[in-house]
Structure 1
Amino acid sequence: MHSPPNSRNDVRSSATSAEALSPILSRVPAGQTSIWRCPRCHGALACSKATLDCRRCGHAYGQVDGIPDLRVPGESWIDFEEDLATAREVAALDLPLEDLVRAVYARRSGWDEDLIGMRTRQVLAAPERLHGDISGWLAEATSQDVWLDLGCGPGMLLAAAADMKRPGSGIGVDVSMTWLVVARRLILAHGGRPILAAGLGEALPLADGALSGVVSLDVIEHVDRPDAYLREIDRVTRPGGRLALSTPNRFSLAPEPHVMVWGVGLLPHRYQARYVAWRSGKSYVSTCLMSSIGPRRILKRCTNFAARIIIPPVPEDEIRRFSPTKARLARLYNSLSGEVALRAVFLLIGPFFRITGVKETSLPA
């Protein structure tokens, strides 16, 4: 799984990645040449032209397009070997950014041109759309010294932060090497310096206390072990560090956003995939929505974050695309969701929620 790529493009990109790391390396312990750590033993990694080598356990990690592959065996929504092969093919394509994104989506079985085009436009438009979030509820987490976009996908948030010249250094980790290859191009197109690695949320390739902020948007519902994922976030965040998460609400009255089927979250988890297949013919794997109670309990039990849950409004740019009736309902929802007396109701039935937090210095009991 970690065999090193052989193209000259990978070697050239390795130098680019090392250059991009230079502002952060000033805060890395002497003798360590990468911010990344071995996900197996957390040992320091030494950079060579084609690999990152663990000085403690001796494991060597390959890379694609200068992006280290620091994944370890574990449950995931993708096949690592297949994804690695696809990433190498995509990295070798000499295409404009839009065509590159389209090429990745075109590989998906059953996707027609309309769907491919829509999703491609969403990726390219997302950095500008995310400016409001970065100025708003993500402002604290994304202005930190070194902050992580965990589950960064095509790099849309990191590209947006580059647009806005955020004061901190943003780095990205995602389980898909293919999307990280796209993320590198997108971040560069927005004037940023891509600092990326393939890794699992349950085994982050970072040292204890390496970060002062973590953002992870719509990820917790896709990880196999949410408790391990949140413990890892806690481990790599230093005291005083900021946390920002988002996820759809299991008991929302709106359709399940991944498959657009009503009532999925009202069923026990073991029946959800069969129900989705019956109603839509779609697959429903590696997705397990949680209520607002679930993440709050895990954070309290497994981490040192003092967290609060936010009920966000439906964004106005989305409402403008709704039908007149749906738009009126969405605006009514926005006006009522801010009422303190109705908070418990909207935590239960709202379409999604956000969690922000600060890591405290005392350890949880």
Structure 2
Amino acid sequence: MEQAYQCTACDMTFPVLFGIPDFRLRSDKYLTLQQERDKAERLFEKSKELSFNELVEFYYQITDDVPIELSRRYTAYVLNAPFQAGPLIDSLEPNKSTVLLDVGCGSGGLLQAANGIYVATIGVDIALRWLVIAKKRLDEAGVQSTLICADVENLPFKDKSIDHVVANDVLEHVYNINAALKEMSRQLKNNGKLWVSGSNRFFIGPNATTRLWGIGLFPKGIRTWLLVKIRGIDSLRYIHLISPLRIRKMLLGHFSLLNAGPKKVILSSTKNYPFQDRILISIYQKLTTFGPLRHLLFLLGPAFEMTFIKNNIKTKDGI
């Protein structure tokens, strides 16, 4: 243990591992806390000899529940993250006096893209293993950002201390969506902005996680059987299948909706994606620019994005 933080209120000690404070009481749903820390340590040791790109490839080599046919797509998603983050940051209209919190920051692509735009950026993720990868990315890019390992439902920040909170493809993966949204709201200053995105369960095309068409429309039992039969593992076993209208309903009343639409997809290059994905991405990009289709794509397309502003109201319960 390099050093530690002591919580005087709860009399608990939280370690700093690989230069990253670890404030978790639980890990994510895929690994135990010790398994997760062991995997993070393995990645940290490898990060001393591998580049960021090589470290991402190594991660998927040692991750048994990601089939080979999906690892290339996931790798392409990770490598493209800073380019994808550009329109997101622009939509928040930041300035150099605002603070950004990226919840579920993963490999740190948004933090890299936000470099120099905010007065401070903070990346939080429940997966220490991904923060080790993010640290490698930021170090290579010469980016200064604070990385913290914590549960989105129990963030270690003061109330109303953050200007912008981003939850990019995160809500599917939390333990409890309402608790996560409530905690994000607690962090935001009044009139602070919340940007959320996610995959739409009602999309009939290829699901972002499984690449199987219309898989979110099946009942859980049938869905699990199909995934095990086709992929060898139910990769949606810990995923919340969500929709834009559900998330909007959970937030309205405590937030005002600023804008909503199909998620923008910006690629630095399509060469990392399989041929089928390149064709589908190209078609999707064109469709999102066609005005009459935007609302339909928001409701039934593969992915959605929404920007909210926090209302200045007091509440005892809910978000």
TM-score (norm 2): 0.85
Separation in structure 2 between the aligned mates of residue 345 and residue 228 of structure 1, nearest angstrom: 29
Residue 12 of structure 2 corresponds to 59
Residue 256 of structure 2 corresponds to 306
Structure 1, 275-284 or 324-333: larger mean CA deviation: 324-333
Residue 24 of structure 2 corresponds to 71
Q: Would the alpha carbon gap of residues 290 and 66 (structure 1) be closer, same or farther in structure 2, given more than 3 Å must change? A: same
Q: Contact (CA 8 Å) 2:106, 2:134: kept in 1 or not?
A: yes
- Supply the AA of the counterpart residue of 1:54: C
Q: Would the alpha carbon gap of residues 75 and 253 (structure 1) be closer, same or farther in structure 2, given more than 3 Å must change? A: same
Match of 1:102 among 53, 57, 61: 57
Residue 229 of structure 1 corresponds to 180
1:89 and 2:35 aligned: no
Give per-residue Cα distances to partners, 1:318-362, cap 9 Å, x unaligned.
Answer: 7897669757743652244x22xx555333311110010111112
Structure 1 residue runs without a partner (length 5+): 11-49
The 5 A counterparts of 1:270-309 are 271-283=222-234, 284-300=236-252, 304-307=254-257, 308-309=259-260
Match of 2:103 among 138, 146, 150: 150
- Supply the AA of the counterpart residue of 2:107: P
Any idea what SS the aligned residue of 1:63 has? strand
Q: Would the alpha carbon gap of residues 298 and 77 (structure 1) be closer, same or farther in structure 2, given more than 3 Å must change? A: farther
Separation in structure 2 between the aligned mates of residue 282 and residue 82 of structure 1, nearest angstrom: 20
Separation in structure 1 between the aligned mates of residue 188 and residue 29 of structure 2, nearest angstrom: 24
Q: Contact (CA 8 Å) 2:122, 2:147: kept in 1 or not?
A: yes
Cα-Cα RMSD = 3.0
- Supply the AA of the counterpart residue of 1:178: R
Q: Contact (CA 8 Å) 1:151, 1:173: kept in 2 or not?
A: yes
- Supply the AA of the counterpart residue of 2:141: H
Any idea what SS the aligned residue of 1:51 has? strand
Separation in structure 1 between the aligned mates of residue 207 and residue 76 of structure 2, nearest angstrom: 22
Give per-residue Cα distances to partners, 1:72-93, cap 9 Å, x unaligned.
Answer: 2376233221011121232233
Give per-residue Cα distances to partners, 1:287-310, cap 9 Å, x unaligned.
Answer: 122121110111126xx2212422
- Aligned residues between the structures: 309
Separation in structure 1 between the aligned mates of residue 123 and residue 228 of structure 2, nearest angstrom: 33
Identity of aligned residues (%): 27
Separation in structure 2 between the aligned mates of residue 122 and residue 79 of structure 1, nearest angstrom: 25
Higher Cα Rg, which structure? 1
Q: Contact (CA 8 Å) 1:249, 1:289: kept in 2 or not?
A: yes
Residue 362 of structure 1 corresponds to 313
Separation in structure 2 between the aligned mates of residue 132 and residue 346 of structure 1, nearest angstrom: 21
Separation in structure 1 between the aligned mates of residue 57 and residue 182 of structure 2, nearest angstrom: 35
Deviation >4 Å, runs of 4+ = 110-122, 141-144, 313-329
Structure 1, 187-196 or 324-333: larger mean CA deviation: 324-333
Separation in structure 2 between the aligned mates of residue 316 and residue 110 of structure 1, nearest angstrom: 26
The 5 A counterparts of 1:1-365 are 5=1, 10=2, 50-73=3-26, 76-93=29-46, 94-97=48-51, 98-109=53-64, 119-120=74-75, 122-127=77-82, 129-130=83-84, 132-134=86-88, 136-137=90-91, 139-140=92-93, 145-162=98-115, 165-269=116-220, 271-283=222-234, 284-300=236-252, 304-307=254-257, 308-315=259-266, 326=280, 329-330=283-284, 333-336=287-290, 338-339=291-292, 344-363=295-314
Higher relative CO (Cα under 8 Å, sequence separation at least 6) belongs to 2
Separation in structure 2 between the aligned mates of residue 261 and residue 117 of structure 1, nearest angstrom: 15
Q: Would the alpha carbon gap of residues 135 and 288 (structure 1) be closer, same or farther in structure 2, given more than 3 Å must change? A: closer
Give per-residue Cα distances to partners, 1:196-252, cap 9 Å, x unaligned.
Answer: 111111111222112111011101011121000100000111101111111011101
Q: Contact (CA 8 Å) 2:262, 2:288: kept in 1 or not?
A: no
Q: Contact (CA 8 Å) 2:96, 2:117: kept in 1 or not?
A: yes
Residue 363 of structure 1, CA deviation: 3.0
Separation in structure 1 between the aligned mates of residue 203 and residue 269 of structure 2, nearest angstrom: 18
- Supply the AA of the counterpart residue of 1:244: W
Q: Would the alpha carbon gap of residues 87 and 151 (structure 1) be closer, same or farther in structure 2, given more than 3 Å must change? A: same
